[in-house]
Structure 1
Amino acid sequence: MTPAASDTPSPAAVTAFLRGIDRRARLFAEVQAGDEASARHALAVVARVFASEAGQWPIAEWPRQYWRLLLAAPSMRKPPVAGPAARLPGIARLPVEARAAVLLHLVAALDDADAAGALGIGTAAYQARIRDALPLDALDQPDVDVWRAWRAAAERELAQPTEPEAPTAVPARPAPQVRAHSPSVDVDTRHRHRLRWLWIGVALCVVAMVATFFLHPRGREVLGQWRAEIKREPLDAAASPRARFDADDLALHPDRELLAAPGELAIARQLPLLAWLGDAADDAKAADAPRLPVVIAPLDAPPAAPSADAGDIARRMRGWDALPPKQRALQRAAWAAWRALQPAERVLLRAIAARWQRVGSEDQDALRMRFRALPADARQGWWLGPKMGRDWPRVAPLFAFAPEAQRVPLLALLRAADAVDIDALERLAQITPPEERDALRLDLLRVPAAERRAWMLAKVQG
């Protein structure tokens, strides 16, 4: 036996609900369907179906059921067709399932549980769809800046005024007849007439003030000055420029530092692999250390970088400018990570890179495969250099998602930490709930460096 349906809700309640989500539903349907006509048709059909079935659910379930019905419309399953004039073009280009998941959060304003219920999937699967919808940044993590841009764009679209539409027909009782001349209508009409006459009076006052100004002797004097002939004199001959722009001048290029050091850039692009090898060179007895003698042998000084002539620099600049923007961004990120290392770490990695060049191709492939087999968070940690790369998986839960403004002081804190500090930070990462980690990082930065170890140990023991 099925439970009896609840009492049929008031048509006014259904109409109020549909009006309350109308702006969000229109934006959702237009982006998901790809065109306004299909969106309008789907909204009209879903409104009628929802009005006839709303009595089956408690009012608290109405948002989830409404969006479930809307996503069941055939027009909501179209592939992405985002054009230059499409609303929310970044979201509209996503695949159907990812697009629906993102819109349920940013436009429909559902929490994860209701959004997952509207899609008929579990909450974990819904959260995975959100992560998969985001592009990856230079560190192979979901780009939160893109998510913030999507959210801001959705808020702008929802804040824009829209033309009112006729309310969707909802089955209801016959509405009572309204008198032809309602007192409220008469009051509103009189108010509009008074406002019209008020604005006419203001306009006449402005015209009178302007006319008085030009009839006054001072006003006529000002008008005469405006009409006076403008004095014209030829300018002196332009002086010759001190210098001319040279498109091949490396000093004028925005990426001049990395273009001036192609050897350093090549090492920077292999930074995590070389840092992993450098850590193995420091600890050749480790279980996962590479056993290649040429890698872990005592290191030579790096060879001097060959000088480049003007033609080589110009070719390098033209090749760099021809790269796709994503490739340039990845190389800039690698260069920034390289420049953030300590000078001693860069010296070590240059020497490791020189040894790496003398390793056979088969041995290089084997080492790369071993490095790629490491967990993703471990591989990302090696971007921080040989010293921090080994300890990064232990403290990553506490520092991996720190705000950009905290990145420099937190990295300085970690680079200055010794083994005791790392052990304390690892324990703090284990015992601190995720929602309290932001406050803990702020407290870490506020504590003076001389008192930080005692503070951490007290937090661990307390």
Structure 2
Amino acid sequence: MAAPALPTPALLSDFARTLPLLQPRERSRLVQRAEVWAGWSRAQRRAQQAGLAAWDALPAAERGERRERYLAWQALPIDERRRIDAAREVFAAFAPGQQQELRARFAAVDLGTARGWRLGPALGADYAALQPLLAQVPVDEHEALLRVLRAMTPPQRQDLAVLVQRTPPQERGALRRELVSTAASSRDAWLYERLQR
């Protein structure tokens, strides 16, 4: 059965036959972007093109790093983004020397820990202890695991970190699945029972 015809912005008229073949979410994003572009002034379009040229001029590794940071930011819950924005404002008020010192301290942190902070303030603080649980999580389990970890209290995450350290690597996948399938109301009891084993 053919996909229904969709209104196509004039900008995308060359792709009128291809658009219906795209996944609905991707098609919608493309159409929205075309509509935004069509509404821009000539100066706005030139600025966007200059930004894209600057992006393309970056080394591939730098583009990958920036893309990863952007996707991590997009994945954060809104309350975590607000906490980061508030911290950014506090940081901006520091004297340049103090900012430089803090940047140097963060640059000295090992790469794994630094990347853990991309999970936001709550999980970033617990990342080192929870890293064995977060390592090699299948893509289809990642979002659910992060949702559960963010819903846990700091003491629950501390108990979980102890449990993770006691769990052999080959059993951590089962531990993750059990954690995710445990109702929030039963999580304290589950952690207690698992820690007593």
CA distance in 2, matches of 1:422, 1:360: 35
- Assess if the C-alpha contact under 8 Å between 1:381 and 1:389 holds in 2: yes
Q: 5+ residue gaps in structure 1? A: 1-240, 257-307
Q: What is aligned with 2:136?
A: 401
* Cα distance per residue 1:52-83 (max 9 Å; x no partner): xxxxxxxxxxxxxxxxxxxxxxxxxxxxxxxx
Deviations 1:262-321 (A, max 9, x none): xxxxxxxxxxxxxxxxxxxxxxxxxxxxxxxxxxxxxxxxxxxxxx83332232123223
Aligned-partner Cα distance in 2 for 1:342–1:365: 28
Q: 2:146 aligns with which of 385, 402, 411?
A: 411
Q: Deviations over 1:355-410 (max 9, x none)?
A: 43343433222111212233443322211111111111122122223222211011
Change (3 A) 1:359 1:250: farther
Q: Which amino acid aligns with 2:166?
A: I
Question: Which of these residues, 181, 185, 197, is aligned with residue 450 of structure 1?
Answer: 185
2: CA distance between counterparts of 1:435 and 1:317?
A: 44
Q: Which residue of 2 aligns with 1:333?
A: 68
CA distance in 1, matches of 2:174, 2:188: 17
| Aligned counterpart for 1:251 among listed residues 22, 33, 43 | 33
User: Pairwise mapping of residues 48-197 of structure 1 onto structure 2 (< 5 A)?
Assistant: none
Match of 2:112 in 1: 377
TM (normalized to structure 1)? 0.33
Change (3 A) 1:245 1:371: same
* Per-residue deviation, 1:418: 0.3
Which stretches in structure 2 are left out of the alignment for 5+ residues? 1-7, 14-30, 38-42
Whose RCO is larger (CA < 8 A, sep 6+)? 2
Determine whether 1:367 maps to 2:134: no
Task: After TM superposition, give the deviation of residue 242 of structure 1 in Å.
Answer: 7.2
Matched letter for residue 251 of structure 1: R
Taking only aligned residues, the RMSD between alpha carbons, in angstroms, comes to: 2.9
Structure 2 distance, partners of 1:338, 1:377, is 17
- The one-letter code of the counterpart of 2:174 is A
Measure, in 2, the Cα distance between the counterparts of 1:321 and 1:379. 26
Q: Shift in Å at residue 444 of structure 1?
A: 1.6
**Which SS does the other structure have where 1:309 is aligned?**
helix
The separation in 2 between residues aligned to 1:357 and 1:449, in whole angstroms, is 38
Q: CA deviation at 1:415?
A: 0.3
Q: Within 5 Å, which residues of 2 pair with 1:259-270? A: none
TM-score, normalising length: structure 2: 0.72
Instruction: Give how far 1:456 is off.
Output: 1.8
**Bigger Cα Rg:** 1
